[in-house]
Amino acid sequence: MKIDLGGRNAKFVFLLPAVIWTLFFTVFPLLYSLRLSFFRYVLGKPEQFIGFENFLRAFGDYKVANAVKVTLIFISIAIPAELLLGMALALLFNQKIPGRRFFRTLLTMPLFFTPVAIGLLGLTIFYEEGGPINSFLGLVGLKVPWLSHPTWAMAAILLVEIWQWTPFVFLVLLAGLQGLPEEVYESAWLETSSGWQVFRWITLPMLQPVIIIVFLLRLIEAVKIFDIAYSLTAGGPGTSTQVYSLFVYRSAMKFFDFGYASSLAYLLLVAISLVIAFFFRRMREIYE
């Protein structure tokens, strides 16, 4: 498969700069913050070793519990919604549709729209008195307190997130669908005329690897949510949309409680690593 082109050390010259860079800039900081998480360290004061106290504090901290809850709610609504909508769109555009390329382009646009910018823009879109959404809802007599009510603020963040990332799911699933062999479908349509049957027993199983990749990538990114919550609701009202990253950021940069914030960050790292470990074999197979 791979041919050793004859070099003995050349290969290390190619590989090592990137490895050293990554070791220096991620592994070293990771070790540094692991150490920090065992210290009481508030900026400007001397650090003090306190063992597991930060971690114990985290488990008893209702703010941590809230941040975890908010993040979990966010993930467990955003990802299924994106997958379902993305799948629906992919199936729709896998047919012969006029202007398919136009729509693909249109749906590519949200993907790279600066997240903090769409959050800020959300302030005007969700504006309660005369914002575009409420003005249309007003036609049927509704007025939604988008950013001033805890539940609706979460809904607003979710809508922005779904707007931005459904296109990703759509594009990847569409690529997956177009890679499926035509012949299987031809024979399937001879057996049944039910679109659902074909989807359930042919499309879904064949598309499964792609669906898992999309799901994983979305999961990894959704856990990191920060920008939208920061700019659209700033975690509010109250702490109703204070997602985990935002909470850690505030512990560090507002209260300068670096030791505690590091332990919080590490707990997130452990949680993510567990999820990844669960899918690790699959990931290795993909990059075989």
Residues in 108-137 that interact with another protein by CB under 8 A: 108-118, 120-121, 123-125, 127, 129-132, 135-136
> For the chain, how many residues are written?
288
Partner residues linked to 39 by β-bridges: 49
CB of 73 closer than 8 Å to CB of 154? yes
- The tokens describing 80, both together, are 């299924």
Stretch in the footprint of another protein (CB under 8 A) among 48-56, 62-70, 72-80, 278-286: 278-286
DSSP tag of 248: H
Contacts of 192 (CB under 8 A, 6+ apart): 198
In single-letter form, the type of residue at position 41 comes to: Y
Handedness of CA 191, 195, 196, 200 (dihedral sign): positive
Q: Report, in Å, the least distance between residue 267 CB and another protein.
A: 10
Residue numbers 222-261 binding another protein by CB under 8 A: 223-224, 226-227, 230-231, 234, 244-245, 248-249, 252-253, 258, 261
CB of 245 closer than 8 Å to CB of 226? yes
Q: How far is CA 161 from CA 74, 119, 200, 272, in A?
A: 9, 9, 28, 20
CA–CA separation, 178 and 94 (whole Å) = 7
Q: Choose between 78 and 115: whose C-beta lies nearer to another protein.
A: 115
- The tokens describing 233, both together, are 């609701």
Partner residues linked to 257 by β-bridges: 42
Q: Kindly report the CA angle at 59 between 58 and 60, in degrees rounded to 5?
A: 90
In the list 144, 155, 185, 201, the residue contacting another protein (rule: CB under 8 A) is: 185
Stretch in the footprint of another protein (CB under 8 A) among 52-60, 61-69, 74-82, 104-112: 104-112
Residue numbers 10-69 binding another protein by CB under 8 A: 10-15, 17-19, 21-22, 25-26, 28-30, 32-33, 36
Q: Choose between 52 and 136: whose C-beta lies nearer to another protein.
A: 136
Q: Report, in Å, the least distance between residue 232 CB and another protein.
A: 9
- The tokens describing 112, both together, are 């790279």
Q: Which pairing describes strands 48-49 and 39-40: parallel, antiparallel, or unpaired?
A: antiparallel
In the list 103, 144, 206, 239, the residue contacting another protein (rule: CB under 8 A) is: 103
Q: Report, in Å, the least distance between residue 283 CB and another protein.
A: 6
- The tokens describing 96, both together, are 């012969």
Residue numbers 132-171 binding another protein by CB under 8 A: 132, 135-136, 163, 167-168, 171
* Contact call for residue 86 and another protein (CB under 8 A): no
Q: Choose between 2 and 45: whose C-beta lies nearer to another protein.
A: 2
Q: Report, in Å, the least distance between residue 227 CB and another protein.
A: 5
Q: Report, in Å, the least distance between residue 239 CB and another protein.
A: 17
Q: Report, in Å, the least distance between residue 30 CB and another protein.
A: 6
Question: Strands (DSSP E) along 51-125, which ranges?
Answer: none
Q: Report, in Å, the least distance between residue 59 CB and another protein.
A: 18
Residue numbers 258-277 binding another protein by CB under 8 A: 258, 261-262, 265-266, 268-269, 272, 276
Stretch in the footprint of another protein (CB under 8 A) among 52-60, 76-84, 149-157, 212-220: 212-220
CA–CA separation, 248 and 250 (whole Å) = 5
Residue 49 parent element (H or E): strand 48-49
